[in-house]
Structure 1
């Protein structure tokens, strides 16, 4: 895990994500790729690098000169804000390489381009709920990434003092399908060897608690998990139970596998991971099961 992509709209949430990404890069010896997407006016004749669009092409006779003025000022302001983030990273974690990317397109297209041309190992994204705020970086972008990203996605909603994971929550139904998530679980544990692992099962009725604890014990035995805390909580919806338990134990990280296909266990449904990633208070690491 060397290349960490951080999309930013300069919101508070994306700044929290940037700080976590820089600290994580320092821990693993990685680098941060900072991405900002700008949707330019259709009549603009300047690229995101400040030069004329199309190089030697003839000027666009229908272009509004004021659009170019706006674009130049927007690009300059954007680069200034990115440079301030680079300076902040140099103070926060000296030696961590940070490279900025500005793309004149929608965020979804900018992300696709980054996945295609850069070897992205992890996306760290600022998670926002669905509000009327004038950010392009809505919760729906977080949810889309959780569902479609070709690499793990770490969603960060609130400030994180220092990304030192002491309480790691792994929610699951601990079926045979959950065994496929163990390799990612071990990788996270290797990054934070001192973290207490909470194996969490969310059930709908009290009558299911005993069976849930037995499945947790069997899962831990199959994979020789020696140090863990088994937890069973009641909730109508898994996402609700996960969020409540994470808050109760003051979790530092929730690790949640997901799979877009139907027919799998309810803990592998993308909708649950999307909901938890967008609304839970601790950072949430989601990853696709192959």
Structure 2
């Protein structure tokens, strides 16, 4: 893991993400790209060339000053930090930076979203999860101890999720974490019998691992929703991190079908890491 991107808005939750990223960077000897997007208004964007230049420079200088103050943290000592300021608040720009720098991980803070705001707006973290092509680590609280000793990886154990699991396992091995695989069985259209679940998990492990050695490490949980099952099991297992695979649904498909990864991201008090299927 050579490069980590941390989108910030200079908030308290941004600092949580930055401290977490710094801890990971020290373990992997990674570079940390701290990204701030200015969110310039349409008025500034459509102004004449001269006024646009003057106002844009003003806001750019202001952002650079805030960035310098924000990055003055003792936990960043001996961490290679590269500040980046973009002009527009477009989430695909994060992907552009990811591709340009060949980044491996996005770390960001979030306070979540709920109710009508969650349905019609969503949190910024939710939008990043939806667009990101690389793993995203969402942090909700001050990382007193940034040690992910116990991680649960929730999966539907489909063949589509094999690649995301392999990527996740590579990261978890480097973190020297204990990983518990979790399947949530629900009473709706996704319900499966015990035999069907065993067959599903066995087929998945044969492809992903080449053997069934980890079969004993798969927990099968029954709950009214996948999200509830994941959060409840994480609490019982004393997990430090929840990892989930996501299809990254967008547009109408996202609105009507929703996203388990985004629901977990919004409602979990634990850090959540998502992996694109």
Give the shorter-chain TM-score range: 0.7 to 0.9
CA distance in 1, matches of 2:165, 2:44: 50
2:254 corresponds to = none
Is 2:130 aligned against 1:147? yes
1:214 corresponds to = 198
CA distance in 1, matches of 2:148, 2:92: 33
- Select 1:97's aligned residue among 76, 80, 99: 80
Is 2:32 aligned against 1:32? yes
CA contact (8 A) 1:6 1:33 kept: yes
Tell me the alpha carbon deviations over residues 238-279 of structure 1, each in whole angstroms, 9 at most, x when there is no partner.
1121122222323111221222479xxxxxx87111211222
TM-score normalised by L of structure 2: 0.78
Q: After superposition, where does 1:9-28 map in structure 2 within 5 Å?
A: 9-28=9-28
TM-score normalised by L of structure 1: 0.75
Q: After superposition, where does 1:16-165 map in structure 2 within 5 Å?
A: 16-42=16-42, 44=44, 59-60=50-51, 68=55, 72=58, 75=60, 77-88=62-73, 91-108=74-91, 110-130=93-113, 139-165=122-148
CA distance in 1, matches of 2:10, 2:161: 36
CA contact (8 A) 2:137 2:274 kept: yes
SS state of the match for residue 83, structure 2? Answer: strand
CA distance in 2, matches of 1:258, 1:39: 27
Aligned residue pair count: 257
Deviation at 1:126, TM superposition (A): 1.3
Runs of 4+ residues deviating >6 angstroms: none
SS state of the match for residue 162, structure 1? Answer: coil
SS state of the match for residue 4, structure 2? Answer: strand
CA distance in 1, matches of 2:122, 2:212: 34
Is 2:182 aligned against 1:197? no
CA RMSD of aligned residues (A): 3.3
Deviation at 1:143, TM superposition (A): 2.0
1:48 corresponds to = none
CA distance in 2, matches of 1:258, 1:43: 37
1:233 corresponds to = 221
Gaps of 5+ in 2: 116-120, 251-256
CA distance in 1, matches of 2:19, 2:227: 26
Deviation at 1:21, TM superposition (A): 0.7
Deviation at 1:284, TM superposition (A): 1.3
2:276 corresponds to = 288
CA distance in 2, matches of 1:215, 1:246: 24
CA distance in 1, matches of 2:122, 2:80: 28
CA contact (8 A) 1:201 1:212 kept: no
CA distance in 2, matches of 1:270, 1:23: 32
CA distance in 1, matches of 2:168, 2:110: 22
Gaps of 5+ in 1: 46-52, 133-137, 263-268
